[in-house]
Amino acid sequence: MTLEDIKAAVDAGQTVHWANTGYVVHKDRLGQYLITYLPNGSCIGLTDRGGHGLNGKAAEFFIARSEDGAENPGSQSRPDGQGGALHPEARGHSHSDGSFDPWAGLKGKQAF
């Protein structure tokens, strides 16, 4: 995925992963795109300091399959067939207004 593809997918509410389902790309309240490692909350910017080069190979970013359209409900998949189910706390949830909160299962836990 290109940088523009990743940003557009995140802005559209899609879940974008890097390398595996443990890493999620999100946009913070300051408008920064970040990659977070869900098991421990570590973050890194999506791009280098100049904002141009991805912190990761473009081919390693992928959009999570929707759970209702997946062949194996509850699983996330990479384009290369690797990947597995997310821990239930890492799934987040959708709000009635259509927005998605990827941090829902992590509320109350110390991220850093």
Residue showing tokens 């940088």: 3
Q: What are the tens digits of pLDDT across the range 42-73? A: 999 999 999 989 999 999 999 998 765 443 33
Window from 59-63, 72-76, 99-103, 105-109 with minimum mean pLDDT: 72-76
Q: What is the 3-state secondary structure (H, E, C) of 53-110?
A: CECCCHHHEEECCCCCCCCCCCECCCCCCCCCECCHHHCCEECCCCCEECCHHHCCCC
- By C-alpha distance, which of 101, 94, 98, 90 is closest to 20? 90
Instruction: Name the 3-class secondary structure at 14.
Output: coil
Q: Is pLDDT larger for residue 76 or for residue 30?
A: 30
More confident site: 23 or 69: 23
